[in-house]
Amino acid sequence: MPAPNDPDYFDKVNYVIDAWTIACDAPWYIYVEALKPALLNAFITLISFGWADVARGYARPPDRSSRRRSGKGKGKGGRGLRGLPEFGNMAGRNLPGSEEVRGANWSNGAKTLWRIDTVAQAALFWWLVADVTIDFAFEFTSLLYETRWCKEAARGRFSWQKGSGEIVLPGFWNEINFNTKDYEYPFPNWLNNWGNTGIKGATISFSIDWEPLIPSAPPSAYSSKLINLITGQVYATDGPTLADADGKATHVLTADVGRLSQFAVRGWSEGAGAVAKDGVIIGLEDML
């Protein structure tokens, strides 16, 4: 599934959630390859700093020191995570004159400002953590779902089976029902006795096992077809197929159905009534 262009936080989170609802059978090393650049970018963002970090490290009193991060030029920061180096604060504390400034006798007003700054920087840091987490998840998911394995898994598909046997009257085309759903991720989709494609075409396949309605008087032949419900175009057809010694026959058909099309399966029995049973219809969205 394509990643949204220039997404905001809401789009990023929705994209990640939607993407991970789709199975992706990529090998484990593909996950690792997609993870590496996203993880590296997240790490660089967390350890990066700006001039505001240096200034705080230069002037902040020792008992008011806080760990601050900023990234992506957004000026975000706050208390750091244990184990992450504070390069901005470290640089500021080691500048000439820093010890004198940090050891100065600050006024009560200045101390209050440092307390406010400490709380504000802590809040900004955890905002940065949330930002980095969202960006990491979005980048990782985008890279992963651009791979061939995940693109295949993201294709729309369905599978429906026939329930009990369905009586087919002789001498005209009967609509065939497939009314037991295995799975469906539109488009394409199926609605018991007809289906449709979306903005892409699809490959539609179905099978039907034919049996005589009255064993002692079986039909002489069976026919099946996949048609366009609007135009009447026949996508695929099989038959007339002569009944075997037991009065039975089997049809398996597949066809390409274009975009924004409605399709259906129809069956015909010649000479006597029949029963359509044990069938399945499946659809798979085109890649392009």
pLDDT of 191 reads 95
pLDDT of 63 reads 54
Using CA atoms, how far apart are residues 77 and 79, in angstroms rounded to an integer? 7
Using CA atoms, how far apart are residues 224 and 266, in angstroms rounded to an integer? 6
**Mean pLDDT, the chain cut into blocks of 10 residues (288 residues total):** 68 79 77 89 78 70 49 44 61 68 66 75 79 88 79 82 91 95 92 95 96 94 97 96 96 96 97 95 87
Q: Could you give phi then psi for residue 216, rounded to 5 degrees? A: -75, -15
Q: Which amino acid is at 75?
A: G
pLDDT of 113 reads 75
Using CA atoms, how far apart are residues 267 and 275, in angstroms rounded to an integer? 10
pLDDT of 190 reads 97
pLDDT of 103 reads 58
> Is-contact 221 243, C-beta < 8 A?
yes
> Is-contact 251 207, C-beta < 8 A?
yes
pLDDT of 144 reads 81
pLDDT of 115 reads 74
Structure letter (DSSP) for residue 63: G
Task: Give the three-state DSSP class for 35.
Answer: helix
Using CA atoms, how far apart are residues 67 and 80, in angstroms rounded to an integer? 5
Token pair of 76 as six digits: 């975000």
pLDDT of 5 reads 65
**Site of tokens 């659809």:** 283
Torsion of the alpha carbons at 63, 65, 66 and 68, rounded to the nearest 10:
180
Which domains are seen in the chain, by residue range?
A: 9-151 (no CATH), 155-285 (2.60.120.40)
What is the distance in angstroms between the CA of the first residue and the CA of the last residue of the chain?
A: 12
Nearest to 284 by CA among 109, 164, 152, 113: 152
pLDDT of 280 reads 96
Using CA atoms, how far apart are residues 57 and 283, in angstroms rounded to an integer? 63
